[in-house]
Amino acid sequence: MTEGHDEHDLQHHNGSSSVHRDRSGTVALHERHHRETGEHPLDHLLRPGRIPHIWCTGCGLGVVLTAYLNGIQKAGVDLDKVAIVSGIGCTGRIAGYINLDSFHTTHGRALPFATGLKLANPELKVSVISGDGDLFAIGGNHLIHAARRNVDMLVLCVNNFNYGMTGGQVAPTTPVTARTQTSPYGCWEHPFNLPYVAAASGAVYVARWTVLHARRLVESVAEAVRHPGFSFIEVISQCPTNFDRPNKGGEGIDLMHFYEKKTVVKNGIDPKEADIGLYTPIVCGKFVDQSKPTYDSCYTNMCTMARGGKK
């Protein structure tokens, strides 16, 4: 993928597609629509005008998109009140393919944009969907502070261990010894363990899945969207073009087999035990699920207090 597709870094897609869009959120209606029209049950949530997509053969991002759409429907929230925000990258393209209010913002700035949306309109259910580089390199500062403040939103981070869109540079998630365009002899930097960073920063819901765990990811998205506060889900996904090729990890299907063999689900463990190496076993699961007051509710209370109790 090249960044040439990003001539408009900031785009607002507000649902102008002519595809039938069922706002009721009920699966039964979607299935009937599918039977009657022959469309895929998720077509009403996609923008056919933006297809064909830019993703490479064997990339895991299609699974993430499908799982998110199924999860947000399963959450049972009003789809008119859902806002999706992304930064820049192959992952960031997800926002533009979804036929809901979606914003493709600048690199690393999805979280401040999403925080502003939420504060201006607390009724919104905000989801940020972006890559490991976008959220933990250029946007790392925003990530830790949004988690610390417990802003009510879901952050879905696709970790493919590199900057996929720009040709496969080293990222803060690249495992030690992994070869990338900018670490041709092997990465020697210590990578972040993303669930550990999110949890230590204050996230109230933290989970990790791979693209093989599509059903668990759907459940997790539905649960996290309903969970008040800052929810963080990491999805490990292959990048057969730019990461797995130099590291001889194989094609997309080989990586799916790898996830099948090498992942272990350990719900409830301390996320600091969930480090990842280069093609070493991956611990998945829901690691954190707790409650604390959200930034937006505290802010609203403080405003009420400052007005002498008037709402």
Ligand X SMILES: Cc1ncc(C[n+]2csc(CCOP(=O)(O)OP(=O)(O)O)c2C)c(N)n1
Instruction: Name the strands in the sheet holding 282-289, side by side, starting at the edge strand that comes first in the sequence.
Output: 11-13, 101-104, 82-86, 125-131, 153-159, 230-236, 205-210, 282-289, 263-265
Burial class (CB in 10 A: 0-12, 13-18, 19+), 228: middle
Q: Nearest distance from residue 93's CB to ligand X, in Å?
A: 8
Give the CA angle between residues 247, 174, 216 to the nearest 5°: 95
Coil, strand, or helix at residue 173?
Answer: coil
Q: How far apart are CA 104 and CA 94, in angstroms?
A: 9
Q: Which is nearer to ligand X, 169 or 300 (CB)?
A: 169
Q: Which helix (H) or strand (E) holds 234?
A: strand 230-236
Q: d(Cα 255, Cα 66) in Å, to the nearest integer? A: 19
Q: Of residues 111-170, which lie at the interface with Mg ion (CB under 5 A)?
A: 131-133, 160, 164
Does 166 bind ligand X (CB under 6 A)? Our answer is yes
List Cβ neighbours of 76 (8 Å cut-off, separation of 6 or more).
25, 222, 226
Candidates 84-92, 119-127, 226-234, 245-253; binding stretch for ligand X (CB under 6 A): 84-92
Smallest distance, Å, CB 135 to ligand X?
7
Per CB under 5 A, 244 contacts Mg ion:
no
Angle ∠(53,138,84) on CA atoms, nearest 5: 45
Stretch that binds ligand SF4, among 44-52, 56-64, 110-118, 189-197 (CB under 6 A): 56-64
Q: How many residues bind ligand X (CB under 6 A)?
A: 19
Select the residue interacting with ligand X from 43, 101, 132, 296 (CB under 6 A).
132
**Minimum distance between the CB of residue 220 and ligand X, rounded to whole angstroms?**
19
Q: Which does 107 bind (CB under 5 to 8 A by kind): ligand SF4, ligand X, Mg ion, none?
A: ligand X
Does position 241 interact with ligand SF4 (CB under 6 A)? The reply is yes
Q: Give me the 80-99 binding string for ligand SF4, x by CB under 6 A, dash otherwise.
A: ----------x---------
Q: Are 103 and 68 in contact (CB under 8 A)?
A: no
- Closest distance between ligand SF4 and the C-beta of residue 15, in Å? 25
- Decide if residue 160 touches ligand SF4 (CB under 6 A): yes
Do 191 and 176 contact (CB within 8 A), yes or no?
Answer: yes
240 binding partner (options ligand SF4, Mg ion, ligand X, none; Cβ < 5 to 8 Å by kind)? ligand SF4
Which residues partner with 236 through β-bridges?
A: 159, 210
Which two structure tokens, joined as six digits, stand for 43?
Answer: 């077509």
Report the residue closest to Mg ion, judged by CB.
131
- Shortest distance (Å) from residue 202 CB to ligand SF4: 29
Among candidate residues 232, 22, 17, 213, the one with its CA nearest the CA of residue 127? 232
Give the binding site for ligand SF4 (CB under 6 A). Answer: 1, 55-56, 59, 61, 90, 160, 164-165, 239-242
Give the binding site for ligand X (CB under 6 A). Answer: 3, 88-91, 107, 130-134, 158, 160, 162-166, 171
Give the binding site for Mg ion (CB under 5 A). Answer: 131-133, 160, 164
